[in-house]
Amino acid sequence: MTARFFSSRPPRSILVVCTRRIGDVLLTTPLVRSLKTRWPDTPIDMLVFRGTEGVLEHNPDIRSVIVVAQRAKPRERLADAARIWRRYDLACAATSADRPRFYSWFAGKRRVGLVDPDRVTRLNRFILDGIALSHHDTVHTVESSLEVARVLGIEPVADVVPPGIGDDPARRAAFDARFDAPPAVSLGQPLAVVHPAPMFVYKRWRIDGWAELIRWLRAQGFGVVMTGGPAAAEREYAREIVAASGEPVLNLVGQLSLGESAEVFRRAKVYVGPDTSATHIAAATGIATVALFGPTQTIRWAPWPKGWKAGAELWSLVGSGRRGNVYLVQGEAPCVPCHKEGCERHLESRSECLVTLPASRVIGAVAEMLGLDVPPMRGRSVAADEVAVVDTSALGRRPPE
């Protein structure tokens, strides 16, 4: 397509559409980075759902962000589309769904986008000038979005770009003041971040496991910073963990933007968190990241390590282990990963594979990432290359986050 459409000049403007959750938007930034690397002087905008734009804060590759309502009425959706009518030389539908293709058709003089292999219909061939097949059952979501770059004839650059807070002195001073909170954090003390609460209960570990981890980190001389979202349930969960640990913790749950959270991660030595967007952000900053996974399919959704190359083998379906700056700790059960919403199949369900995960396994992974002596381990650790027989019928379905 590059030779066909942009052989004589680069596109004058590009729109990348990702109308999904925060983590999906973040994991589309390698596509944006690939486009920017190929055409450094071309401005690139993104169109996302309102409430997800924070993960693009201070992204150097993006000129502006267009936000639309997730549950808009048809009239509102058409009005949004009309405002971007043919404003861009190129529009890219970065996820395989109808809405990104809808907005791309309105916005772009030329369009390319992801399509599931069984959805290559006449309609989608009409909407898109170039089709990138989304093999979501076998590859990471970063690799999926980079198929758009490959269809354009562009070298894929697999850099997940985390948000930030910029260089404004006043904002940085206000941010620095958050750490002036002895005895939780002392000046010059190395920091460890724990991010215990995902959006949904079925992705949680358990309170006493987090408490044991905090006590171990404090015993190693770390100041512990806790991050999390603003929801009341997350704040209460964090308070319960701090109380159970009996240790001083700098609790910033509900107080940080995504850019500020990323800045906290950059200042720390290690991050520990569950299957949530913050864990993807942490991995992208380059911090040593320990990710706790249970029901979710790891091949597609486990964190992308910083500096990992496109096309390089990454995660196995079953097993724990380290890849670059990420250590994946997967729950232990014959059904892992079931790709369901917990054992009871609803968002507030417990996941037995996570709640029974021994704290010693998590602490052992943290110790290995920090180059410390690994404490004796309780429970069986599955080798990263050990493959289990699982039901793969639902692996392509995206779990809620």
Q: What is the three-class DSSP state of 213?
A: helix
| Predicted confidence (pLDDT) at residue 380 exceeds the cutoff of 50 | no
Q: What is the pLDDT of residue 184?
A: 79
How many angstroms from the chain centroid is the CA of residue 218?
27
| Predicted confidence (pLDDT) at residue 265 exceeds the cutoff of 90 | yes
Q: Where are the domains of the chain?
A: 2-151, 170-370
Higher local confidence (pLDDT), 352 or 62: 62
Q: What is the pLDDT of residue 387?
A: 30
| Predicted confidence (pLDDT) at residue 382 exceeds the cutoff of 50 | no
Higher local confidence (pLDDT), 393 or 351: 351
Percent of the chain surpassing pLDDT 70: 92
**Answer CATH for 2-151 from 3.10.580.10, 3.40.50.2000, 3.40.50.970, 3.90.930.12:** 3.40.50.2000
What is 170-370's CATH number? 3.40.50.2000
Q: Token pair of 253, please?
A: 């749950």
pLDDT digits (tens, 9 = 90+) for 138-188: 899 999 999 999 999 999 999 999 999 999 999 999 998 888 767 778 778
Give mean pLDDT, residues 296-325: 94
Give mean pLDDT, residues 56-78: 95
**Confidence at 7, pLDDT banded by 50, 70, 90:** low
| Predicted confidence (pLDDT) at residue 392 exceeds the cutoff of 80 | no
pTM of the model: 0.91
Q: What is the pLDDT of residue 187?
A: 73
Q: Token pair of 130, please?
A: 């170039």
Q: What is the pLDDT of residue 61?
A: 98
2-151 and 170-370: identical CATH topology: yes
Mutual angle of helices 277-285 and 258-267, in 10-degree steps: 50
Tokens 């980075």 belong to 33
**Confidence at 1, pLDDT banded by 50, 70, 90:** low
Q: What is the pLDDT of residue 135?
A: 84
| Predicted confidence (pLDDT) at residue 3 exceeds the cutoff of 50 | no
Q: What is the pLDDT of residue 341?
A: 84
| Predicted confidence (pLDDT) at residue 324 exceeds the cutoff of 50 | yes
* Exposed e or buried b per residue across 26-57, where buried means at least 16 C-beta atoms within 10 angstroms of its C-beta: bbbbbbbbbbbebbeebbbbbbbbeebbbbbb
pLDDT digits (tens, 9 = 90+) for 79-113: 999 999 999 999 999 999 999 999 999 999 999 99
Taking the C-alpha atoms of residue 134 and residue 339, their distance in angstroms, rounded to an integer, is 19
Q: Token pair of 71, please?
A: 């549950």
Any alpha helices (H) in 129-270, and if so which ranges? Answer: 141-151, 169-177, 207-219, 232-245, 258-267
Give mean pLDDT, residues 292-316: 94
pLDDT digits (tens, 9 = 90+) for 218-245: 999 999 999 999 999 999 999 999 999 9
Q: What is the pLDDT of residue 5?
A: 64
| Predicted confidence (pLDDT) at residue 398 exceeds the cutoff of 80 | no
Q: What is the pLDDT of residue 342?
A: 83
Taking the C-alpha atoms of residue 367 and residue 343, their distance in angstroms, rounded to an integer, is 30
- Counted residue by residue, the chain has a size of 401
Taking the C-alpha atoms of residue 184 and residue 181, their distance in angstroms, rounded to an integer, is 6
Q: What is the pLDDT of residue 178?
A: 86
| Predicted confidence (pLDDT) at residue 399 exceeds the cutoff of 50 | no
67 burial (CB, 10 Å; 0-12 / 13-18 / 19+) is: middle
Q: What is the pLDDT of residue 190?
A: 95
Q: What is the pLDDT of residue 260?
A: 97
**Confidence at 393, pLDDT banded by 50, 70, 90:** very low
Which of 70, 99, 102, 104 lies closest to 87, judged by CA? Answer: 104
**Confidence at 377, pLDDT banded by 50, 70, 90:** low
Cβ contacts of residue 323 below 8 Å, gap of 6+? Answer: 305, 308, 314, 315
Q: Token pair of 388, please?
A: 């289990």
**Confidence at 9, pLDDT banded by 50, 70, 90:** confident
Q: What is the pLDDT of residue 346?
A: 82
Phi and psi dihedrals of 71, rounded to 5?
-115, 55
Instruction: Determine which helix (DSSP H) or strand (DSSP E) holds 277, and give its type and residue range.
Output: helix 277-285
- What's the mean per-residue pLDDT of the chain? 90
CB 55 within 8 Å of CB 277 = yes
